[in-house]
Amino acid sequence: MTSTALVKDYMTKKVITVTPDTPAGEVIELMKLTGHDGFPVKTNGEVIGMVTAFDLLLKPWSDLVEGLMTTDVVVADKEMSINDAARVMFRMGISRMPVMDKEGKLVGIITNTDIVRSHIERSTPTKVNYFKKTLEQLYGIKTKLVRMKVPINKLRPTQNKIYADELQGRTYEIQRGLAEPTIVVKVDNRYVLVDGHHRTVAALKLGYETIDSYVIEIDEDLKLGIEKTADKEGIFTYEDIDVIDDAQHPLIALTETLRKEESRK
Q: What percent of the chain is predicted at pLDDT more than 70?
A: 91
- pLDDT digits 0-9 by tens, 172-181: 889 888 888 9
* Neighbouring residues of 109: CB distance < 8 A, sequence distance ≥ 6: 11, 12, 15, 40, 96, 97, 98, 99
How far apart, in whole angstroms, are the C-alpha atoms of residue 2 and residue 206?
A: 31
Q: What is the amino acid identity at position 95?
A: S
Measured N-to-C along each axis, helices 197-205 and 164-175 cross at an angle, to the nearest 10 degrees, of 70
Instruction: Return the CATH fold of 7-115.
Output: CBS-domain (3.10.580)
- E-assigned strand segments in 64-113: 76-77, 96-100, 106-111
- pLDDT digits 0-9 by tens, 216-236: 999 888 999 999 999 999 999
The 10 Å Cβ neighbour count of residue 192 is 21
Question: pLDDT at position 215, please?
Answer: 97
Name the residue ranges covered by the structural domains of the chain. 7-115, 141-260
State the pLDDT confidence band at 103, using cuts at 50, 70 and 90: confident
State the pLDDT confidence band at 249, using cuts at 50, 70 and 90: low
User: Which of the listed CATH numbers 3.40.50.2300, 3.10.50.40, 3.30.1600.10, 3.90.1530.10 matches domain 141-260?
Assistant: 3.90.1530.10
pLDDT at 250 over 50: yes
Average pLDDT, the chain: 89
The size of the chain, in residues, is 265
Instruction: Provide the H-helix boundaries in 59-159.
Output: 82-92, 112-139
The CA–CA distances, whole Å, from 87 to 10, 90, 128, 134, 183 equal 16, 5, 28, 36, 30
State the pLDDT confidence band at 260, using cuts at 50, 70 and 90: low
**Spatial contact of 212 and 225, defined as CB atoms under 8 Å apart:** no
Measured N-to-C along each axis, helices 112-139 and 82-92 cross at an angle, to the nearest 10 degrees, of 150
**Spatial contact of 145 and 215, defined as CB atoms under 8 Å apart:** yes
How far apart, in whole angstroms, are the C-alpha atoms of residue 249 and residue 205?
A: 20
Question: pLDDT at position 2, please?
Answer: 44
- pLDDT digits 0-9 by tens, 117-135: 888 777 688 889 999 999 9
**Spatial contact of 208 and 238, defined as CB atoms under 8 Å apart:** no
Q: What is the amino acid identity at position 93?
A: G
- pLDDT digits 0-9 by tens, 184-195: 999 989 999 999
